[in-house]
């Protein structure tokens, strides 16, 4: 039902060199986590219905948010995350690029679609 985002990102040397294993599901990182880090969550999941049987594939839309202390760092992190995930999912957009007022962290978000066999 969910793509293996943690396994893909933590197993990628370029991503791991930046965030190590600081990759968190449900769009939420622990308070006082070391920076930089990545969060991700399921935006929507839709079964690929057919008329003659139960769906055997789910389409999942995932949002992955990258968080970094510097402007150049957020670009490097997001590029590494995107490259790692494109081997298994379809990037549908870079949907957020901002600096959080409260935390002063830079944030970029990408959205991906996965087609997962049940």
Say how far apart CA 67 and CA 75 lie, in whole Å: 10
DSSP assignment letter at 33:
-
Residues 65-88 have a mean pLDDT of: 97
CATH topology of domain 5-117: STM4215-like (3.30.2000)
pTM of the model: 0.90
Residues 53-63 have a mean pLDDT of: 86
Say how far apart CA 22 and CA 26 lie, in whole Å: 13
Q: What number of helices (H) and strands (E) belong to the chain? A: 3, 5
pLDDT digits (tens, 9 = 90+) for 15-40: 999 999 999 999 999 999 999 999 99
Q: What is the distance, to the nearest Å, from the Cα of residue 35 to the centroid of all Cα atoms in its chain? A: 16
The percent of residues above 90 in pLDDT, for the chain, comes to 79
Residue 4 DSSP SS3: coil
The per-residue pLDDT for 111 is 97
Task: Sketch the domain layout of the chain as residue ranges.
Answer: 5-117
* Contact (CB, 8 A) for 71 and 57: no
DSSP assignment letter at 84:
H
């Amino acid at each position: 039902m969910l793509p293996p985002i943690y396994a893909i990102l933590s197993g990628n040397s370029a991503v791991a060199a930046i965030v190590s294993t600081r990759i968190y599901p449900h769009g939420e990182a622990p308070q006082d986590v070391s920076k930089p880090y990545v969060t991700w969550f399921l935006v929507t999941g839709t079964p690929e219905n057919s008329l003659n049987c139960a769906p055997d594939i789910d389409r999942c839309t995932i949002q992955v948010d990258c968080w970094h202390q510097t402007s150049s760092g957020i670009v490097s992190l997001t590029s590494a995350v995107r490259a790692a995930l494109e081997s298994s999912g379809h990037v549908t957009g870079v949907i957020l690029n901002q600096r959080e007022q409260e935390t002063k962290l830079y944030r970029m978000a990408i959205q991906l679609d996965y087609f997962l066999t049940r």
